[in-house]
Structure formats: structure tokens, C-alpha cells
Structure 1
Amino acid sequence: MTVKNYFPGSENKLFDAGGGLTRKVAAYNDNAMCVEVHFEKGTVAALHSHPHEQITYVISGKFEFAVGDETYIVAAGDSLYKQPDIIHGATCLEAGTLLDIFTPHREDFL
């Protein structure tokens, strides 16, 4: 992959993932990816796992997250770490936006 250093927000396309969830891929390279994820109230991100490490930072809203055997209620300013292959998912309690960081990048998001 050719290294790209600048990713103007105006050029990043909003992808409708369905069910009240949209996302916009921001900066990425082979080793890392930044994704802005928007949830409508009541949206459920079903339990799933993937081989990527993931950090989620809550920009706005309120969410119930399941990570492994734990459940957390999170709001703006909170963050979560998800190790590779751990089962996780979320329910949006108040409409909001998350910033997800993945390593390596999510090929399926490109």
C-alpha cells in the first residue's frame, strides 16, 4: 500500500451499514485505521469478533457495551479496549458517535 498522509474529511464517504449505523473511514495504512461510527438511538451492533485489536473512544451519546464477559455503560470521554478475537457488541442508549481505532486496518471496511 502506498503511504498516504492526509485524509480530508470532505473526501471520506459515509457508508450506511444499515440498522441505524453509518461509518466513515478516516486515516489508515496497513497497520492502523481510524473509523468514525454514528449510531441512532436503539441501534444494536450485534455481538461479533475479529482478529484486529480495537480501541473505541466515545465522542458523544451513551452506549451499553458487552466486551467478553463484562458489560459497561459508556458516555462521552470514555474509551474501551478490545483484544483480538474477543466477543463484543453495543447497544446505543442515546444517539452518538464513536471513534474506532483498529490494528491492523480492516480490509473489509475499504
Structure 2
Amino acid sequence: MTTKNHFPAQENALFDAGGGLTRKVGAYNDNVMVVEVHFETGTVAARHHHPHEQITYVISGKFEFTVGDDTYIVSAGDSLYKQPNIEHGATCLAAGTLLDVFTPHREDFL
């Protein structure tokens, strides 16, 4: 992959993932990717797992996250770590935006 250093917001389209969830891929290379994820109140991100490490930073809103066997209520300024292959999911309690960081990058998001 050719290294790109600048990812202007207007060049990255918002992808409608359905069910009240949209996302926009930001900067990435082979090793890391940042993704802005927007949730409408009541949106459920079904429990799933993937081989990537993931950190989620809550920009706004309120969410109930399940990571493995633990459940957390999170809001602006909180963050979560999800190790590879751990089952996780979320329910949006108040409309908001998350910033997800994945390593390595998510090929399925490109």
C-alpha cells in the first residue's frame, strides 16, 4: 500500500451501514485505521468479533457497551479497549459519535 499522509474530510464519504449507523474512514495505512462512527438513539451494533485490536473513544452521546462478559455505560471522554477476537457490541442510549482505531486496518471498510 502506498503511504498517504493527508485524508481531507470532504474526500471521505459517509457510509450508511444501516439501522441508524453511519461511518467515515479517516487516515489509515497497513498498520492502523481511524473510523468515525455515528449512531442514532436506539441503534444496536450487534455483538461481533474480528482479528483487529480496537480502541473506541466516545466523542459524544451515551452508549451501553458489552465487551466479553462485561457491560459498561460510557459517554463523552470515555474509551474502551477490545483485544483481538473478543466478542463485543453496543446499544446507543443517546445519539452520538465514536472514534474507532483499529490495528491492523480493516480491509472490509475500504
After TM superposition, the score normalised by the length of structure 2 is 1.00
Structure-2 residue corresponding to 1:80 = 80
Instruction: Give the number of equivalent residue pairs.
Output: 110
Give the aligned CA root-mean-square deviation in angstroms: 0.2
Structure-2 residue corresponding to 1:53 = 53
- Structure 2 distance, partners of 1:54, 1:13, is 22
Alpha-carbon distance, 1:34 to partner: 0.1
- Structure 1 distance, partners of 2:11, 2:60, is 23
Alpha-carbon distance, 1:44 to partner: 0.1
1:68-94 CA distance string (max 9 Å, x none) = 000000000000000000000000000
After TM superposition, the score normalised by the length of structure 1 is 1.00
- Structure 1 distance, partners of 2:49, 2:2, is 28
- Structure 2 distance, partners of 1:96, 1:109, is 20
State the AA in 1 paired with 2:88.
H
- Structure 2 distance, partners of 1:73, 1:44, is 14
- Structure 2 distance, partners of 1:29, 1:40, is 29
Structure-2 residue corresponding to 1:68 = 68
In the alignment, structure 2 segments of 5+ residues that lack a partner are none
Structure-1 residue corresponding to 2:7 = 7
Structure-2 residue corresponding to 1:43 = 43
- Structure 2 distance, partners of 1:48, 1:15, is 19
- Structure 1 distance, partners of 2:19, 2:69, is 25
1:4-46 CA distance string (max 9 Å, x none) = 0000001111000000000000000000000000000000000
Structure-2 residue corresponding to 1:106 = 106
Alpha-carbon distance, 1:66 to partner: 0.1
User: Percent identity at matched positions?
Assistant: 84
